[in-house]
Amino acid sequence: MCRANYRLVDKTAAIRLVTTLLFYVSTLGDERSITILLTTPALYRPIAELWLLALKTKDKDVVCLSSPSGPARTTSFRVCGVMLVSVCVQDESFVTILLELSGGIGAVTSAALKYLKSLRSMAKDLDIVSNAFKFELLVPVFSCCIGIIATTSMLDAAIREAYLLRQSVKDIFGALRVLQSLPLAREAMAEALASSFTYLDILLKRGDDPVSALHQALCAHAFETMVHISPYGPLEEKVAEMDPRWINEAFFRILFKYSLHDKILSYICKHVDAWSNNLGSIVRQDERLLDLWSNVEQALRVYGTLRFKAETIWWPSPSKKGLVLQCHCDGTAEDIRFRQCAGCQVVRYCSKRCQRDSWHSHHRLSCNFLKAAVGPSTPQRIKRSLRLLAALEVTHKQRKWDNILRLFAAARCEYPEDQERLVVELALDKFEESVRPLRDYLFLFNGLSENEVVDRLSSWSDPREVQGLQGPFLFSVITIHDRYESRQILFSPCMALNMEIFGNSVANAQP
């Protein structure tokens, strides 16, 4: 490890220092005094060194916790290191020292995750499981490990994303599942679940890729684990966020919210039957929670059916993976390296000639609208869900058509100068709709003016438009839940797909 201008603490001296610190901590008494001692800046550097050193030592039971009120007890070097750092890491200056001593973000994230992995091995150690004192330390150490990861994630965005790339969510929920297999008290498991969910919630709200974070949790059997962790008392408002019932409810809503993304829905469709057949007593005995799950489950199954129909019947693609649109040339070889359209980043072509012919045929019209349908921020993630979103858009219109017409009539009175340029906005995950003028959505079209958008749309009539849903409005947009707790507005996926797939039927397309 890189050590800047500081000499590494000798192993023996390190152990003595830890022992001394813990001796004073255990005899000082009140929690405030303990915090003051451990957050003394002069101790930050040696404590950081100790935390890094503990991963390399093979010693067991090397630290003695002395107490004037009871017998001395011993515990491992790693346990002490985690508990010390979990307090110090609240100070940003400590994190700076830790990064300096370790050699960078990669080393810090690697060390933090190694502690989690070592905890899993500790949970399987018969010496620890058979010792009441050591056994009781497992959950506090687990919570401290997550506290270190969560705190450093909130202090530094680069550290947060590095954790995610190293499968931090998967490691955390994997460790939680190991703890669940042990005969721990209900209160202890509820605490462990709360720590795990808090970290996941941070990534969903602040992370650059919340879909990957949720997918990691699902792959680590987060759903199966959560529904089998029981509460330890009545649900109280002041501790609601630590109650498994509240966490399960929040997680069900998260599943529904992110099921619009193909990566999440694909996993759900493979496991929803097993989930429903193995719900824990916490869900089955809570009428409100069971009713919520039933509604979410029904919606998830509908989404799965709609996606299948969209990909195989309504908007089929020659792509075996079904990830993106490909050209429809006959006799395409499997080893062809497809070239992607630089404009929309959705359609791929087998050759320059194919791309040129497609452009003159129809893609010059559909390109801007496909780009608007996947959005500027995360095209790779959205384009995989484009067919599902299109199917949900059509279904939303069918279900809420009468209300859409009422809103349109009201909007014509509210915007008399825009009566021919009104747009319907569909909030897919909220089942809500609104009508506003085109000028509010020009940001979708990469600099095109109102007249340019209208001219391009008027040059094309949708031969696949669902009968009776053509509507008096110009077009529709959808809104979905996106990163950083924001909402992303997208041009009609249904219209964009129809423009591209069935664009050859369009004559005299405008440039």
List pLDDT tens digits, range 202-242. Answer: 999 998 889 999 999 999 999 999 999 988 656 555 456 77
464 pLDDT higher than 70: no
Tell me which residue has tokens 């996926």: 493
Q: Which of 122-126, 202-206, 436-440, 464-468 has the lowest mean pLDDT?
A: 464-468
465 pLDDT higher than 60: no
* CA-derived radius of gyration, the chain: 28
Q: What is the 3-state secondary structure (H, E, C) of 443-488?
A: HHHCCCCHHHHHHHHHCCCCCCCCCCCCCCCCEEEEEEECHHHCEE
One DSSP character per residue, 175-237 reads HHHHHHTS---HHHHHHHHHHHHHHHHHHHHH-S-HHHHHHHHHHTTHHHHHTTPPPSS---G
pLDDT of residue 169: 96
pLDDT of residue 511: 32
The 10s digit of each residue's pLDDT in 113-137 is 998 888 888 888 887 888 787 788 8
Pull the structure tokens for residue 154: 């909130």
| Dihedral in degrees, nearest 10, Cα atoms 107, 113, 117, 119 | 110
The 10s digit of each residue's pLDDT in 136-187 is 888 988 999 999 999 999 988 999 999 999 999 999 999 999 999 998 888 8
Cα 431 to chain centroid distance, Å, stands at 22
C-beta separation of 456 from 176 below 8 A: no
Cα 275 to chain centroid distance, Å, stands at 20
pTM: 0.83
Q: Is 504 exposed, middle or buried (0-12, 13-18, 19+ CB in 10 A)?
A: exposed
Q: What is the spatial distance between Cα 428 and Cα 494, in angstroms, rounded to a whole number?
A: 13
Q: What is the spatial distance between Cα 385 and Cα 55, in angstroms, rounded to a whole number?
A: 43
Strand-pairing partners, residue 423, are 436, 475
Tell me which residue has tokens 């909030």: 427
The 10s digit of each residue's pLDDT in 184-201 is 888 899 999 999 999 999
Across 54-97, where does the E strand assignment appear? 63-67, 70-75
One DSSP character per residue, 288-345 reads HHHHHHHHHHHHHHHHHHHHHHIIIIIS--S-SS-SSEE---TT--TT--PEEPTTTS
Q: Judging by DSSP bridges, how do beta strands 475-481 and 422-427 pair with one another? A: parallel
Q: Where do the structural domains in the chain lie, given as residue ranges?
A: 11-247, 372-505
Q: What are phi and psi of 362, to 5 degrees?
A: -160, -25
Which of 378, 398, 384 has its CA nearest to residue 310? Answer: 384
CA end-to-end span of the chain, whole Å?
59
Q: What is the spatial distance between Cα 111 and Cα 294, in angstroms, rounded to a whole number?
A: 41
The 10s digit of each residue's pLDDT in 371-430 is 999 887 655 677 788 889 999 999 999 999 999 999 999 999 999 999 889 999 999 888
pLDDT of residue 24: 56
The 10s digit of each residue's pLDDT in 2-52 is 545 545 556 666 656 665 565 555 555 555 555 565 667 777 888 888 888
Q: What is the spatial distance between Cα 177 and Cα 171, in angstroms, rounded to a whole number?
A: 10
Q: What is the spatial distance between Cα 210 and Cα 233, in angstroms, rounded to a whole number?
A: 32
C-beta separation of 101 from 48 below 8 A: yes
Q: What is the spatial distance between Cα 400 and Cα 426, in angstroms, rounded to a whole number?
A: 10
One DSSP character per residue, 104-150 reads SHHHHHHHHHHHHHHHHHHHT-HHHHT-HHHHHHHHHHHHHHHHHHH
Q: Averaged over 289-299, what is the pLDDT?
A: 95
Q: Is 452 exposed, middle or buried (0-12, 13-18, 19+ CB in 10 A)?
A: middle
Percent of the chain whose predicted confidence (pLDDT) is above 70: 77
Q: What is the spatial distance between Cα 17 and Cα 47, in angstroms, rounded to a whole number?
A: 9
Q: Judging by DSSP bridges, how do beta strands 432-437 and 422-427 pair with one another? A: antiparallel
Q: Is 141 exposed, middle or buried (0-12, 13-18, 19+ CB in 10 A)?
A: buried
User: Helix or strand or coil: residue 422?
Assistant: strand
Q: What is the spatial distance between Cα 182 and Cα 124, in angstroms, rounded to a whole number?
A: 9
Q: Averaged over 100-107, what is the pLDDT?
A: 89
Burial letters 48-61, b for 16+ CB under 10 A, else e: bbbbbbbeebeeee
List all residues 6 or more positions away from 507 whose beta carbon is below 8 Å from its beta carbon. none
> Apex CA 177: angle with CA 171 and CA 179, to 5°?
105
